[in-house]
Chains A and B, each alone.
Chain A
Amino acid sequence: MTATVAEPLTKTASGRATVARGRRPASGRKVLVALAAYVIAMIFLLPYVEMVITALRPPQELLSRGYLPKHFTWSNFTSLWKTGFQNNVGASLKVAGGATLIVLVVSLPAAYYTARRRFRGRMFFLLLVLATQMFQPAAMLVGIQREFTSFDIANPLISLMLVNAGFNLAFSVWILNAYFSSIPSELEEAAMVDGTSRIGALFRITLPLAMPGIVTAVIFTFIGAWNELLVALTFTSGRVSSQQPVPVNLNSYIGQYSIDWGHVFAGCVVATIPVIVLFAFIEGKVVGGLTAGSIK
Chain B
Amino acid sequence: MSLTTFRARRLAHRLEPVVWIGPAVALIAVVVLWPVVVMFRASFQHFTPNGFVLGSRGLRNYSDLFDEPDLQAVLTRTVVWVIGVVVVTMVLSLGLAQLFNQRFPGRRVARWALIAPWAASVMMTSLIFRWALDPNSGVVNVFLHDIGVLDAFNSNQADWLGRPWSAFVWMMVVAVFVSLPFSTYALLAGLQAIPEEIYEAARVDGASTWRSYRSITLPLLRPSLLVAALINVINVFNSFPIIWEMTRGGPGYETATTTVFMFQLKQNFFGESAAMSVINFGLVIVLVVLFLRATRWREQVG
Known: A18-B193, A34-B105, A142-B277. A41 touches B199 (CB 8 A): no
Given known A14-B193, A113-B21, A167-B31, contact A147–B120 (CB-CB < 8 A): no
How many A residues touch the partner, as a band?
35 or more
Is B20 part of the binding interface, using a Cβ–Cβ cutoff of 8 Å?
Answer: yes
Residue of A nearest to B291 (CB): A134
Contact at A142–B273, with CB atoms within 8 Å? yes
B102–A109 touching, CB < 8 Å: no
Known contacts A33-B99, A42-B113, A169-B27: does B128 contact A51 (CB below 8 Å)? yes
Segment with Cβ contacts to A, from B1-9, B67-75, B81-89, B227-235? B227-235
Q: Please judge, given known A-B contacts A271-B124, A290-B181, whether A147 and B301 are in contact too, CB under 8 Å.
A: no
| B: contact size bracket | 35 or more
Q: What are 12 A-B interface contacts by the 8 Å CB criterion?
A: A34-B106, A40-B110, A40-B114, A138-B240, A139-B280, A140-B281, A162-B30, A265-B131, A268-B120, A272-B121, A295-B227, A296-B300
**Does B36 reach chain A (CB closer than 8 Å)?**
yes
Complex interface bits, B129-156 against A, C-beta within 8 A gives 1, otherwise 0: 1111000110100100100000001000
- Listed in ascending order, the chain B residues whose CB lies under 8 Å from chain A are 16-17, 19-21, 23-25, 27-28, 30-32, 34-40, 42-43, 51, 96, 99-107, 109-111, 113-125, 127-132, 136-137, 139, 142, 145, 153, 177, 180-182, 185-186, 188-190, 192-193, 196, 199, 223-224, 227-228, 231, 234-235, 238-241, 244-245, 259, 262-263, 266, 270, 273-274, 277, 280-281, 284, 287-288, 291-292, 295, 297-298, 300-301
Chain B nearest CB from A109 CB (Å) reads 5
A290-B131 in contact given A135-B32, A143-B35, A147-B35 (Cβ < 8 Å): no
By the criterion CB–CB under 8 Å, are B196 and A23 in contact? Answer: yes
By secondary structure, the B interface counts as: helix
In the complex, which residues of chain B have a beta carbon less than 8 angstroms from the beta carbon of A265? 127-128, 131
Q: Please tell me if the beta carbons of B119 and A272 are within 8 angstroms of each other in the complex.
A: yes
Question: Which residues from chain A sit less than 8 Å from chain B, CB to CB?
Answer: 10, 14, 16-25, 30, 33-34, 36-38, 40-42, 44-45, 47-48, 50-51, 54, 62-67, 102, 105-107, 109-110, 112-114, 117, 119-123, 125-132, 134-136, 138-147, 149, 162-163, 165-167, 169-170, 173, 177, 223, 226-227, 229-230, 247, 250-251, 254, 259, 261, 264-265, 268, 271-272, 275-276, 279, 286-288, 290-291, 294-296
